Structure 1
């Protein structure tokens, strides 16, 4: 399958919201923090020093992820989603490989992420790519998150 990873363009903002809303509603619910990030992703992620990328296949956007800036060299990997029709085709792994390479090229110190132990497949992939579990702060940003992971890059 030919997958191209492309950067954010405003015309894809609606697709970013739709892809994420679909998986959130399937497994959990859309939380206030999600609404903030998805309603105006350009303002809430890009304009604050973050990044959004998309997986494109035959001119269709079939996946995405974001990097939300925490510090100059620490970013949260979030809002990773793959269209349900394309799941099981290793698109998430393709996105994750790109994300890690992008972070390394940027000289970042680490990537963090919040997830849920309900998402076995996602956790398996994160561990496969070197993410390790770290303590979850009491005031974590998502109700659904019961696990926090990091990948040290340097």
Structure 2
């Protein structure tokens, strides 16, 4: 059983492969990998960091066991919470909660206006977690950036 607090560390290009591996696992398990996913995961520096985004990793006993990213929204102030993943062997130990706690604290510290995310109701545990932390469902636009998305959620940081 895992009862340790993870250490959250920022992106380092040396961790690009872990970012890819953690995310490709759940995408392959539940969905078809979209071209956009493959591009972003293969080149996180180009698609996330260089565009003003952020990537964080959860570290436990010198092992990367989780990750998430913020991508700046194109047409409005705020960031998309994206590519959140926990390694399969560490699921069910509240690692996702620790990542999400860090996510919201970092967003507030940086004075982000809002967070939004696209997900799938197929990922019941993730949706439950987002709701628990205060994300609220909003209208999903017809031209969602992800084919798999059937839910869009938002967290208002101005409250």
Q: Which band: TM-score by shorter chain?
A: over 0.9
Give a deviation string over 1:93-124, Cα, whole Å, max 9, x none: 10000000000011111000000011111001
What residue ranges of structure 1 are gaps of 5+ in the alignment? none
The match for 1:70 among 66, 73, 77 is: 73
Corresponding residue for residue 117 of structure 2? 113
Runs of 4+ in structure 1 off by over 3 angstroms are none
Which residues of 2 match residues 1-154 of structure 1 at below 5 A?
A: 1-70=4-73, 73-154=77-158
**CA RMSD for the aligned pairs?**
1.0
Work out whether residues 73 and 107 of structure 1, in 8 Å CA contact, stay in contact via their aligned partners in 2.
no
> TM-score, normalised on structure 2?
0.94
- Residues in 2 aligned to 1:69 and 1:55: alpha-carbon distance in whole angstroms: 21
What residue ranges of structure 2 are gaps of 5+ in the alignment? none
